[in-house]
Chains A and B, each alone.
Chain A
Amino acid sequence: MKKLTLGTLLYYVLVSIVLVACLFPFLYTIGSSLKRGNELFATSLWPAHPSLSNYATLFHDQPFGAYLLNSVLVSGGAVVLSLLVSVLAAYALGRVSFRGRGVLMMCILGVSMFPQVAILSGLFELVRWLGLYDRLGALVLTDLIFTLPFTIWVLVTFMRELPKELEEAALMDGVGVFTLIFRIFMPLLLPALAATSLLAFIGAWNEFLFALTFTISPEQRTVPVAMSMIAGASSFELPWGTIMAASVIVTVPLILLVLACQRQIVSGLTAGAVKG
């Protein structure tokens, strides 16, 4: 009995360490973002007089709202495009056995693991040639490089799990393949689709390299680039309060979404990796 309590004690100590390590940095960020003036330089977790002045500065000094909108448009666009194409591809790859399927799957996996910086100059030319340089469209297009293989790969594993009888019955009734995919499978796949799109959205939302390289004017900036460029009067005095406010605004929606669908996310992540 004594040994059991010791084990339990150890368990709770370790759990507390993990909890603090995971949560403290973000709590401290929220605290810092609510501090005003000199209070920021005291290291207390929570300000004595919380104030929203950093948030006001953030939106007042720069078009942070526009940056947020840009990020939503780019990530949303990339996710919608990826889903449209990948649902079709995932049906074929997951449920029809045809020759060359294995090769195609390996190619898709290869693209998703590929270092994006390796094709930067080729992409630069493509983006310029399409007249998309310094436009959000360039980012939608280039983000597809990682959102598309990811959504295909994950949706294939989910497609495989759908019952065979359903498909056979539908084909028996002479239902077309689009009706089968969109009317019959789609409702069953909704939770999987939600998780997949959320993960792809997060990937595109965080994308930095392409956004930094293919846009130059402030109007086309996405949030990660804007955050990396928040600067103070001189390079030695960064406006940390404002940066922390931006961090909170960018992160809170993601955390809420992730916590709301944690079950599906965990299954989506593992479908994307372990089973591969």
Chain B
Amino acid sequence: MSSESLSLDGRASQRPSVAVRRASPLAQQRRRQAWLLVLPAMLMLVVIAGWPLLRTVWFSLTSAQLSDLTQHPFVGLDNYIGENGVLRDGEWWHAVGNTLIFAVISVSLETVLGLGVALLLNTPSRVRSLLRAAVLVPWAIPTIVSAKIWSWMLNDQYGVINAILLHLGVIDHPLAFIADPDLAFPTIILVDVWKTTPFMALLMLAALQMVPSDCYEAARLDGVPRWRVFRHITLPLILPGVLVAMVFRMLDALRVFDLIYVMTSNSRLTKSMSIYVREQLVDFQQVGFGSASAIVLFLLISTFTIAYMVFTRRRMQGV
């Protein structure tokens, strides 16, 4: 089947000049070969991502239980909009809210701090390579490990952060960073910012290095102050790169799981969408309901992605 559609494709794309098509059977053979080379990878992705996604959609319309996935009575949209459907569950919307707050705040902080670090990394100096190596350290530390390290440093009794803050007189009694309901969320954001700012910084450094140096040269000769150079030359030029980095991080932050799972377990206060879904699926064994929430999560993230793609396309056409 595939070879047939291939030759059709080949012909269609070559229509403007029939002579060229006849002249290069080699090119046609090359195209056929290309499909064969892509095939194994595509098959794998279909099996491990496409098919499970379809099955999840199907499960979301049933009342399946984890213990026996072969028995699954069809219940229509009950899991979504039924009396106990996910869209009517306050807990779910609470988790959605948590995830959005987490994603927006941490990505904004990471962007600002990342840009700062990128500017430092882009300044020629003797310590630049040391700085770059140091910045790679938090990034290389696994999320679970950084969650544990920070849980220890922020420990309410023996934590070094409390000791330092007490010593400096910033606080007069040790803070329970993780147990205190007001502090748990900011603490999780802090750890995420610590771990992921380097990644943002490296991406933005790449964008900064693509700015042609004659731009700076000309501005310097004209005696334009540095911050205005940054505001009017650097920033507009690196903005597309920064936006791509932000979207990547945003998609990552919207599926946050391990950091929150390890730091505060399934405390209601800090529950994210992913934690909610897994809890329903695995801990409560409700595959039907869990799948419905998984699909809602999937649709939310897809909407975000599509909105972004439409937005950037408009902007590019507008410019």
Contacts and interface: CB of A to CB of B under 8 A. Distances in A.
B281 to A, nearest CB: 6
A196 B291 CA distance: 33
Interface stretch (A61-69, A81-89, A183-191): A81-89
Given A22-B198, A99-B10, A100-B9, A141 B40 contact: no
B54 interface: yes
Interface stretch (B44-52, B82-90, B212-220): B44-52
A273 B37 contact: no
A25 B153 contact: yes
B38 A92 contact: yes
Given A19-B130, A98-B35, A224-B144, A28 B160 contact: yes
B132 A116 contact: no
Contacts of A91: 37
Interface string B149-165: 11011010111100110
B294 interface: yes
A208 interface: yes
A209 B145 CA distance: 15
B56 A148 contact: no
B56 A144 contact: no
Nearest to A14: B120
Given A119-B49, A141-B48, A254 B141 contact: yes
Contact of B148 (A111, A208, A227, A258): A227
Interface stretch (B104-112, B181-189, B229-237, B295-303): B295-303
A149 interface: yes
B269 to A, nearest CB: 18
B54 A258 contact: no
A98 B9 contact: yes
Nearest to A181: B37
Contacts of A251: 140-142, 145
Contact of A119 (B56, B150, B159, B254): B56
Given A141-B48, A274-B241, A11 B123 contact: yes
B274 A115 contact: yes
Interface in A88-143: 88-89, 91-93, 96, 98-100, 104, 107-108, 110-111, 113-126, 128, 141-142
A11 B251 CA distance: 33
Give the dominant DSSP class at B's interface: helix
Most A CB contacts (10 A, CB to CB) among B45, B59, B138 go to: B45
B13 interface: yes
A72 interface: no
Contacts of A149: 45
B34 A92 contact: yes
Contacts of A99: 9-10, 12-13, 31
Nearest to B36: A92
Contacts of A113: 248, 251, 305
Contact of A269 (B135, B160, B203, B287): B203
Interface residues of B, number: 98
Contacts of B66: 124
A21 interface: yes
B257 A209 contact: yes
Contact of B59 (A89, A93, A122, A258): A122
Contact of A270 (B140, B143, B206): B206
Interface in B227-264: 241, 244-245, 248, 251, 254-255, 257-258, 261-262
Most A CB contacts (10 A, CB to CB) among B56, B117, B130, B150 go to: B56
Nearest to B161: A43
Contacts of B94: none
16 contacts: A12-B127, A15-B127, A15-B131, A19-B130, A25-B146, A43-B164, A92-B34, A100-B9, A113-B305, A115-B274, A121-B59, A122-B54, A122-B56, A152-B41, A209-B258, A227-B145
Closest 8 A/B residue pairs (Cβ): A122-B52, A122-B55, A92-B34, A118-B298, A89-B41, A270-B206, A115-B255, A96-B34
Interface of A: 11-12, 14-15, 18-19, 21-23, 25-26, 28-29, 32, 40-41, 43, 85-86, 88-89, 91-93, 96, 98-100, 104, 107-108, 110-111, 113-126, 128, 141-142, 144-145, 148-149, 152, 177, 202, 205-206, 208-209, 212-213, 223-224, 227-228, 240, 243-244, 247, 250-251, 254-255, 258-259, 262, 265-266, 269-270, 273-274, 276
